[in-house]
Structure 1
Amino acid sequence: MTSALQYIQSLPAWLVGRVAARGRGLVTDAIAGEGLKLAHHAVLAATAEYGPVAQADLGRRLAVDPKDMVGILNHLQKAGLVLRAPDPADRRKNAVTVTAEGVAVLGRCAALAEGANSRLLAPLAPDEQNQLIALLTRLHEAP
């Protein structure tokens, strides 16, 4: 007979959540040496992709509270990874741009995250890794 705990721990939602937490932990640990947390990394990556971008738009794109965004950008700017300047389209807003050092840090973080994900998927054969990624992508993209 299966216990209530065993039943819960066999649910796909529980299993995916536990694997996601482990993956986040591995990536968090990997990029910590660059002085970044996951939120910093996401904001830096979005700035590189969309920048120059209004600070408020960046927060909306990433669903980050404006107060939290200020703290994240303060950290990134102090580290020399982004610049904030008045937005030429609307001087009341700040536009955020990634710096050359920010691009370099993103490259290093990509390699570190790749290593962390390789550790996460190490118990699986290469074809199983590809299948898992394909299945997770289908679930993620489902309506």
Structure 2
Amino acid sequence: MDEPLLKPEVDPPVRVWRLTSWLLHHVNARANRIVTQHFGRPSWRMWYAMLAGMDQYGTLSQAELCRRLGIDRGDAVSVLNDLEDEGLARRLPDPTDRRRNAVDITPAGKELLFKLDAVVDAAQDELLGELTRDERTQLNALLRKLIERPGNTSGREPAAE
């Protein structure tokens, strides 16, 4: 790792060190920094999630894509506008409800997604470099256990390490 998670002068009391929430907060802050640095553009974090969603789920309504990704619909509109402007996604009439738009990834979007996969992998390696492959798998399993709820497992497969 190129930088410590905490600055050398940070010396939290034992009560704080034992708090998983405190530890997760600091790991999350570092993860956000690393991923944003690797992407080079802050907007690409959301672009990546939306492109990955469209690639995995195929053509679906904007509302369904947002629901599956846990993204606010209002935030997604501007991201989808950007993706469409760049030729990475397209909106089309929803075949089940003409009042709604469906969204789909374009071939250019798939190409960018493939490139961003490599960027994300490099960021993950930087973040988790001190962990073995087995430890990474265990960490992912534990984190998924904390965030998954019954009925919220829409075909998810464990991430490849």
- Category of TM-score, reference length = shorter chain: 0.7 to 0.9
* Residue in structure 1 matched with residue 57 of structure 2 by the alignment: 50
* Residue in structure 1 matched with residue 154 of structure 2 by the alignment: none
* Residue in structure 1 matched with residue 91 of structure 2 by the alignment: 84
Distance 1:120 1:51, change over 3 A: same
Unaligned residue ranges in structure 1 (runs of 5+): none
Counterparts of residues 1-143 of structure 1 (less than 5 Å): 5-32=13-40, 36-141=43-148
Whole-angstrom distance in 2 between the partners of 1:11 and 1:86:
48
TM-score with structure 1 length normalisation? Answer: 0.81
3-state DSSP of counterpart to 2:40: helix
Unaligned residue ranges in structure 2 (runs of 5+): 1-10, 151-161
The alpha-carbon deviation at position 84 of structure 1 amounts to 0.6
Whole-angstrom distance in 2 between the partners of 1:58 and 1:21:
26
3-state DSSP of counterpart to 1:23: helix
Distance 1:121 1:108, change over 3 A: same
Which of the pair has the greater relative contact order for Cα pairs under 8 Å at 6+ separation? 1
3-state DSSP of counterpart to 2:130: coil
TM-score with structure 2 length normalisation? Answer: 0.73
Identity fraction in percent: 39
